[in-house]
Amino acid sequence: MVDAVKDVSSLVDVAPRERFARVCALTGAGISVAAGLGTFRGPDGLWTIAPEVERAMHAHLLPANVDALWSVWGGMWEIAAGAGPTPAHRALAATGASVITQNIDGLHQAAGSADVVELHGSAGRARCLDDDFCGWTGQAHEVRQGDLPGCARCTEPARPAVVLFGEMLDPEALGEARRLVSSCDLFLAVGTSGRVAPASWLAPTARAAGAYCVNIDLHPDGPADPAFHARVVGDAQDVLTEWASLPSP
């Protein structure tokens, strides 16, 4: 029988830093709220307050929704770049944690994290719509400016290099995520429930490999996921900053 998940108020109480040498964190939209980026789900989520965001989510609407992709994803990148990393991003970087992120905002790299897997791509990169015959990818600022950004190599439009509904995640990113969770001794899920695949198999994989698993969630919306040993109910900005201040192994 799996033990009941403990609800606690401090990561320090259940996972003192000196006990763990290989930390891996899965992060979601909640970690970037303090940088001015909204979450998607919930009563205050972007899908509720800005229904037009839906056009930026689906691959089957391409190429007619390229304008929405640049407006939504490019807008998020600009907000993130202007705000910079949050204390939670900086805390993870300071501890040397590996990061698997569902976010596309580049804030982990900006904070100094060296080992980052971007499951859903990055709004800071662009790619040609013609994957079969061109296949160009590059930094978003490299694309030509016009009515809509164009590919830096051919005449096709360019799009943000984010993963949309209906598209496959990068197999290399998935493989690296599996490697990281299989080799860590502490697994943290920050700003995400981790209940949506493929993120949903990360905590069970980490736990099966012997890691202690903790979910950090300011607004839990249901029972704790039994894949975790503990759930810290609190703001990741405070929780991770306190935890990062402790002595390391």
131-172: pLDDT as tens digits: 889 999 999 988 866 667 889 898 889 999 999 999 999 999
Q: Is residue 11 part of a domain?
A: yes
- Name the helix (H) or strand (E) containing 27: strand 23-27
pLDDT value, residue 225: 86
pTM of the model: 0.92
Chain position carrying tokens 């859903």 = 120
Active-site choice (108, 120, 219, 229): 120
Q: Is residue 25 part of a domain?
A: yes
pLDDT value, residue 6: 79
pLDDT confidence band for 50 (50 / 70 / 90): low
Q: Is 219 a catalytic residue?
A: no
Alpha carbons 215 and 229: distance in angstroms, whole number: 8
Q: Is residue 224 part of a domain?
A: yes
Our count of domains for the chain comes to: 1
Domain around 102: 6-38+85-120+169-244
Q: What is the CATH number of the domain that holds 27?
A: 3.40.50.1220
Q: Is residue 213 part of a domain?
A: yes
Q: Is residue 61 part of a domain?
A: no
193-246: pLDDT as tens digits: 777 777 789 999 999 999 999 999 888 777 778 999 999 999 999 999 999 998
Alpha carbons 13 and 34: distance in angstroms, whole number: 24
Q: Is residue 218 part of a domain?
A: yes
Chain position carrying tokens 């989520």 = 45
Q: Is residue 162 part of a domain?
A: no
